[in-house]
Amino acid sequence: MRNFIITVDGKQYEVGVEEVGGAEAPKAVPIATQAPVAAPAPATNANGTKVLSPFPGLIKNVLVQNGTKVKKDQPILVLEAMKMDNDITAPCDGVVTVNVVKGANVESDAVLAVIS
């Protein structure tokens, strides 16, 4: 038998996998995990706070226009990844400049918008 640790929805499970013809495999049991690590603070510079893509995906919708005043945690974009819609929110109050368009594919850490 080989043991593996897998993560599903943020929970870790230790599972044993047996060869074909072996005894019944044990059921997955949650194991102790560390608390989630907070995302790093958004990058800031003289031009404002950059809103970076947390993962690669498709810009499904742009919810604000350039020059719109936004509040912290206000959704500004919808990023689709692995068939799931993810709201990308403003990390701070300010005026937004959007750097992407609906339908664009983006990579991790791409600058989606800047808030100044």
pLDDT in tens, 24-71: 555 655 555 444 444 444 555 557 999 999 999 999 999 999 999 999
The structure's pTM equals 0.61
Residue 58: closest CA among 86, 83, 80, 90? 80
d(CA 88, CA 13): 29
CA distance 78 to 80: 7
Helix (H) or strand (E) holding 114: strand 111-115
What tokens does 52 get? 């970076």
